[in-house]
Structure 1
Amino acid sequence: MRIFHLNANHLRGLIPSAFPKDCRLISINLGTNKLEGRLPRSLINCKYLEGLDIGNNRIQDEFPFWMEGLPELRVLALRSNKFGGNMSRPSSTKIPFPMLQVLDVSYNEFVGSLPQTYFKNFKAMTEAIELDYDSFLANLEMRLTLKGQDQLLNRLLETFTTIDLSSNRFYGSIPPSIGKLKILKYLNMSHNSLTGHIPSSLENMSELESLDLSTNKLDGEIPSELTGLTFLSKLNISMNNLVGKIPRSNQFSTFENDSYMGNLGLCGLPLTRKCKEDDGKLMQPAEEEDDEYEFIDGFGWRSVVMGYGSGFIVGIGIGYMIIRSGRPRWFVEFFLALDINIRRRRDTTELHQHAGEHAGELD
């Protein structure tokens, strides 16, 4: 047996633990079941194993450091389980996971700092290596989150590389060593508790197509060096504590405001919040500026219009009641006398105008 795919069934219980020493399995896919327990250590006997997908189960274990020495492993998908503990302990293997192209540990319970050792030594993500693609890779079926959307991967291309560490409890800074992953295409570290600055060493990841660092606690400015990532088509750094002006050259001129939302200190396009002008005054977003001009001494134009409208209606009503009832008498007599005077002046004016016209005819 070379391929063992039982994914997307209703399997329960434990993963079989007796993988023999002469195991010749190339691909194991048990994803999307209801399997429990731990990952069997006897998998280390499968020296030809290229892909392991046990995502979307109920496996409760630590990260399988003991698999670092598998010489052919290209896919390790552990997403949506109950894996926990720390991934950043020192490696006992000189070059851990030398052929790994896909690492997906998203939606688990990992804690601690990011696995810096792996960033330095993932050979298949740091340099182009010649691979033999005549095995299970033509029949691969696994689900990954790429560019913010779940996608079904049916074939692993030679140039496909991804790391997904999202939705765990990683904390601490992003190590500059991540820049060594020069041929990584997809990187997702969202929904963790990462702090510190975005490292400028990301500029070395020249083939990066998607970068998601959203929903963390990152601060500082967006490194201008990132504008050199000319293949970057998806960026999400929203919901952090970033500040300063957003770079707008190259690919960054194509990203919309949803890439930056939730960073109150960011300014410049595509956001409406303008950056500091020459006079040092920070311009407010357009919406806020409109609101500020609406208020005069604490009252907005809406309040003024409502006040005039209400007063006009009430005044008409009171006037009608006064004239109809004739009370108070002095008020009615005042307005009647005023009306008589107005009428007399108008009649006098018309009489003078008529007399002038008649005199003109006689001339």
Structure 2
Amino acid sequence: MAKPGFFSPLLLLLLFAIFRATLSTNSPDIVSDQTALLAFKSHISHDPHNLLATNWSSSASVCNLIGVTCGSRHHRVTALNLSSMDLTGTIPSQLGDLSFLASLDIRHNSFHGSLPTELTSLHRLKYLNFGNNSFSGEIPSWFGYFTTLQSLYLYDNNFTGVIPSTFGNLSKLETLSMHNNNLQGKISSVIGNLTSAVEINLTYNNFKGHLPSWTFDNLSKLQLLHLRENRISGTIPSSISKCKELWFLSLNKNSLEGSIPIEIGNLTMLEYLDLGYNNLNGQIPSSICNLSSLLGLSLFNNNLDGAIPECIGSSASSLVYLELGENNFHGKIPDTFAQVCTLLSFQISNNQIEGSLPRSLVNCKDLKLLDVGNNYLNDTFPAWLGNLEQLQVLILRWNRFHGQVGSPEVTVSFTRLRAVDISHNNFSGYLPVKFLKNLHAIREGYEKKDKQEYMEDVLAFGTWNYAFRLSFTTKGLETEFEKLLTIWTAIDFSNNQFCGEIPKTLGDLHSLIVLNLSHNCLIGPIPSSLGDLSELESLDLSSNQLQGRIPTEFTNLGFLEVVNLSHNDLKGPIPKGKQFDTFTNDSYIGNLGLCGLPLSKSCGNDEGTRTPARLDKDGDDDDDDGINWKFSILMGYGCGLVLGLSMGYIVFATGKPWWFIRIYERVRQRCAKR
């Protein structure tokens, strides 16, 4: 038993710990931290969730405040994280008194104003994130004093001016993200000095000038370089091959010229290469076949020419996105797509590609988008693509495809297809009823209208959108979609040689938004079932030989913005009410039998009010029109008999039948053309 008047060692240790904690809590340093944080709170003008109003008080322990982290040794504030709290305010100078602060994160708020120079006292700072706020003005040169800084995020603000040259002092900086600002000037000097840089993202600014070869001499650790949408000119330096660890390179939407350097094939760890929207020329270097880890390749919208390397197809065992559209490529698409093909998207539109569609594409079981529009492909309809269960977008427009659409041999047959454009080809025959019946994605509407998602996959870095820069004719205009919503559906069979009547089954495609059957040889009535296309926004049936009346059911199409029924043989009154009160004359010109607003031709009282008569298979009325039709035939027989007897007498009398034969031949030829 311990003697009275003496403390045990354990008790002494406990008392010392309590004394030390009390001393730390009430020390001038921790009081300074508390004062700095309360000053920060006083500069918050809007705290919609009351996160600071109820928690940050002078009576509370500093280390228990929301968003505050203290060190275990000194009990000083080492981290402040107020991200995504919807706060509005400014940064007070007192924040610089948090002398132990190593991490400051206030991203995704509405902080604004200038940054106080007192922040230079934060000499322990390693992580600084001011992203997605409303800061403005030039980036302070004193940022160069943060020599211990490893991560700097200033993206999505309103910063202007140039990157301070003092950034070259940030020798430990690994991540620099300043995209979505209004920065300008040259960036080569800054990039070249960031020897520890792993990720650099300067997209969506106004940087200009060249990237000299020495820019990449010291960036051996660089893994991500994102310079999309600036004004960078000149050529791509071959020295970029020194960045051996680079896995993401995007120079999209700049003013680069010259050829793609052969040395780019040395970047064997490269997974995403985006050089789209530049002025690059020459051929694709064969060294690109060395990029065995490549998942995404975009050379979209350049001046590249030559043939597509054979290895592109065999590389599809790793490629997910392949975008070669809007160049000058010629020759054929290599028929070398790997047996284990991982392609999700293949775009090669607006080139000079010839030949047929390679059958090895059927190996790409996960293909969701295929765009080969605006080329010189000469082939029958690729019904075998119907075996690709994931295919959602198919664009064959402006080629030389021919023959009928559909095939009884395909088992799956486009069940997920939601956008198909085969316009401006030489397809013929009847509209493919079986093909239309199999479009379950449009029929059933897999995606709900309130689910506004884009056709894209979320990858390791942000999103690489596989359904963008697609052109469709919609609402009477050629429209380019930067991104395509999953709920967007379209069928464009225009400018072909389809004949016969419009199938009633089209009315079952309830999610359809765009329907274009114009410039074909379609006959018969417009099916009233098209009035069931409740989501339809654009309808074009112009330049056909359609007959009968415009179905009154069309007034049920509440989302219809554009309708074009011009240059047909339609007749009767134009439906009234709802959307039809907004359409102009252009929607109906070339139909001499139509009447009613907006046309100047008025309908008779009985014609405008009577219920549409039952139509026969050619779209004509069975009652009065039938009698008139029969009467016209009898009159024709009578006139023909008289004319024939007269002409026979003349031929017999003159003995010169050749002029008659020539007239007859001309008339016969005209009839044949009609």
Class of the TM-score when normalised by the shorter of the 2 chains: 0.7 to 0.9
Aligned to 2:520: 192
* Cross-structure match for 2:419: 102
Per-residue Cα deviation, 1:11-60 (whole angstroms, up to 9, x for no partner): 00000101011010111000000000000000000011110100000000
CA-CA distance at 1:87 after TM superposition: 1.0
* Counterpart residue type for residue 381 of structure 2: F
Task: Provide closer, same or farther for how the CA distance between residues 194 and 183 of structure 1 changes in structure 2, counting only shifts above 3 A.
Answer: same
Match of 2:437 among 95, 120, 123: 120
Task: Please tell me whether residue 61 in structure 1 is matched to residue 340 in structure 2.
Answer: no
Residues 184 and 208 in structure 1, CA contact (< 8 A), matched pair in contact too: yes
Say if 2:527 is the partner of 1:209. Answer: no
Deviations, residues 129-185 of structure 1 (Å, cap 9, x unaligned): 158944254552221111111111121202100000000000000010001110000
Q: Take 1:22 and 1:88, find their aligned partners in 2: how far apart are those partners?
A: 26
Give the AA of the match of 2:487: T
Asked if 1:7 corresponds to 2:329, the answer is: no
| 1:110 partner amino acid | F
1:90, distance to aligned residue in structure 2 (A): 3.6
Distance 1:132 1:209 in 2: 19
Q: What are the equivalent positions in structure 2 for 1:1-363 lying under 5 Å apart?
A: 1-90=319-408, 92-93=410-411, 95-130=412-447, 133-135=455-457, 137=465, 140-277=468-605
Residues of 2 paired with 1:41 and 1:175: CA distance? 30
Evaluate the alpha carbon distance shift between residue 91 and residue 275 of structure 1 in structure 2; reply closer, same or farther with a 3 A threshold.
farther
Native 8 Å contact 1:194 1:217 kept in 2 = yes
Instruction: State the structure with bigger RCO (CA 8 A, min sep 6), 1 or 2.
Output: 1
Q: Report if aligned partners of 2:416, 2:441 keep a CA contact under 8 Å in 1.
A: yes
Amino acid corresponding to residue 11 of structure 1 in structure 2: F
Tell me the C-alpha RMSD between the 2 structures: 1.7
2:455/2:483 contact within 8 Å kept:
no
Aligned equivalents of 1:139, 1:246: Cα separation in 2: 38
Runs of 5+ consecutive residues of structure 1 not aligned to the other structure: 281-363
In 2, the alpha carbon distance for the partners of 1:37 and 1:24 equals 24
Kindly provide the amino acid, as one letter, of the partner of residue 100 in structure 1: L
**Closer/same/farther in 2, CA of residues 187 and 139 from structure 1, 3 Å limit:** closer
Change (3 A) 1:92 1:27: closer
Structure 1 residues 137 and 182: alpha-carbon distance in aligned structure 2, compared to 1, 3 A threshold: farther
For each residue in 1:229-272, what CA deviation from the matched residue of structure 2 results, as whole angstroms up to 9, or x when unmatched? 01101000000000101111111111111100000000111101
Between Structure 1 and Structure 2, the one with more helix by share is 1
Contact 1:91 1:117 in 2 (8 A): no
Q: Quote the Cα distance in structure 1 between the aligned partners of 2:542 and 2:374.
A: 23
Paired position in structure 2 for 1:308: none
Cα distance change, pair 17–55 in 1 and its aligned pair in 2 (3 A): same
* Matches of 1:148 and 1:132, distance apart in 2: 23
Q: TM-score, normalising length from structure 2? A: 0.40
Cα displacement (A) at 1:88:
4.7
* Partner Cα separation in structure 2 for residue 51 and residue 139 of structure 1: 7
Instruction: Determine the C-alpha separation between the residues in 1 that align with 2:407 and 2:568.
Output: 27
> TM-score, normalised on structure 1?
0.74
Number of residue equivalences: 279
Q: Distance in 2 between matches of 1:258 and 1:20?
A: 50
Partner SS for 1:127: helix
Q: Is the 8 A contact 1:222 1:242 kept in 2?
A: yes
Pairwise CA distance, 1:204: 1.3
For structure 2, list consecutive stretches of 5 or more residues without a partner in the other structure. 1-318, 448-452, 458-463, 609-674
Cα distance 1:159–1:41, how it changes in 2: closer, same or farther (>3 A)?
same
| CA 232–188 in structure 1, closer or farther in 2 if over 3 Å, else same | same
Instruction: Using the aligned pairs only, state the percent identity.
Output: 47
Q: What secondary structure sits across from 2:586 in the alignment?
A: helix
Whole-angstrom CA distance in 1 between matches of 2:607 and 2:501: 35
